[in-house]
Chain A
Amino acid sequence: MLEIKNLHASVFDTPILKGINLSVNAGEVHAIMGPNGSGKSTLSNVIAGRDGYDITEGSIDYLGKDLSELEADERACEGIFLAFQYPVEIPGVSNMAMLKAAINSMRKYRGEDEISAGDFLKLIREKAALVEMKQEFLKRSVNEGFSGGEKKRNEILQMAMLEPKLALLDETDSGLDIDALKIVSDGVNALRAPDRAMVVVTHYQRLLDHIVPDYVHVLADGKIVKSGDKSLALELEEKGYNWIEGLQKAS
Chain B
Amino acid sequence: MIAIDQTQSWLDQHSLTQFSEPAWLSAQRAQALSRFEKIGLPGVRDEQWRYTNLRKLKSQALSVSSPANLGIELSSSNFVRLVFVDGHFDADHSSSIDQSGVHLSSLKHALDNQADLLETHFGASLPQDAHGFTELNTAFSQDGFVLHVAKNTAVDQIIEVVFVSQSKQSLSHTRNLIIAEANSQCTVVERHIGVPDAVYLSNTVTEVIAGDNAIVDHYKIQQESDEAFHMGAAFVKQANGSQVSNHNVALSGLVTRNDIVSDLLGGGAHMEMNGLVLGQGRQHIDNHTQVNHLVANCTSDEYYKSILDDQSRSVFRGRIIVAQDAQQTNADQQNNNLLLSDKAEADTKPQLEIYADDVKCSHGATVGQLDQTSLFYLKSRGINAGSARALLTFAFANEVIDRIKVDSIKNELTQLIAGELLSGLEDLV
- Interface range on chain B: under 10, 10 to 19, 20 to 34, or 35 or more? 20 to 34
Of residues 363 to 380 in B, which have CB atoms within 8 Å of A's CB atoms? 371-374, 376-380
- Enumerate chain B residues within 8 angstroms of A81, measured Cβ to Cβ: 380
Q: Are A105 and B387 in contact (CB under 8 A)?
A: yes
Q: Are A94 and B382 in contact (CB under 8 A)?
A: no
The answer on a CB contact under 8 Å between B383 and A105 is yes
Size of the chain A interface, CB-CB below 8 angstroms: 38
Query: Is A100 in contact with chain B by the CB < 8 A criterion?
Result: yes
Q: Closest residue to B428 on the A side, CB-wise? A: A96
**B399 proximal to A (CB < 8 A):** yes
Main SS of the interface on chain A?
helix
Task: A90 to B418: give the CA distance in the assembly, Å.
Answer: 15
Q: Is B381 in the interface zone, CB < 8 Å from A?
A: yes
A51 CB-CB contact with B under 8 Å: yes
- If A84-B377, A94-B428 touch, whether A101 touches B387 (CB-CB below 8 Å) is yes
Pairwise interchain contact B380-A76, C-beta atoms closer than 8 A: yes
Bound Cα distance A49, B385 (Å) = 13
- For the complex, what is the distance from the CA of A109 to the CA of B383, rounded to whole Å? 10
A117 at the interface (CB under 8 A from B): yes
A87 lies within 8 A of chain B by Cβ: yes
Across the interface, do B391 and A93 meet the contact criterion of CB distance under 8 Å? yes
Residue of A71, A84, A88, A109 ringed by the most chain B CB atoms within 10 A: A88
Beyond A51-B372, A88-B373, A97-B428, is A105–B382 a contact (Cβ under 8 Å)? Answer: yes
Q: Are B394 and A92 in contact (CB under 8 A)?
A: yes
- Point out the residue from B374, B388, B424 that lies within 8 Å of A73, measured CB to CB: B388
Contact A117–B424 (Cβ < 8 Å): yes
Q: In this assembly, does A37 line the interface, its C-beta being within 8 Å of a C-beta of chain B?
A: no
Say yes or no: is A102 at the interface (Cβ < 8 Å to chain B).
yes
Which A residues, 182 to 241, have Cβ-Cβ distances below 8 Å to chain B? none
Complex contact B383–A101 (CB within 8 A): yes
Chain A proximity mask over B401-429: 1 for CB below 8 Å, otherwise 0:
00000000000000000000110110011
Given contacts A76-B379, A93-B394, A93-B395, 13 further A-B pairs with CB under 8 A are A49-B379, A71-B384, A73-B382, A73-B383, A84-B380, A88-B374, A93-B392, A94-B425, A96-B429, A97-B421, A100-B422, A101-B422, A162-B382
Binding site for B on A (CB under 8 A): 48-51, 71-73, 75-77, 81-82, 84, 87-88, 90-94, 96-106, 109, 117, 138-139, 141, 158, 162
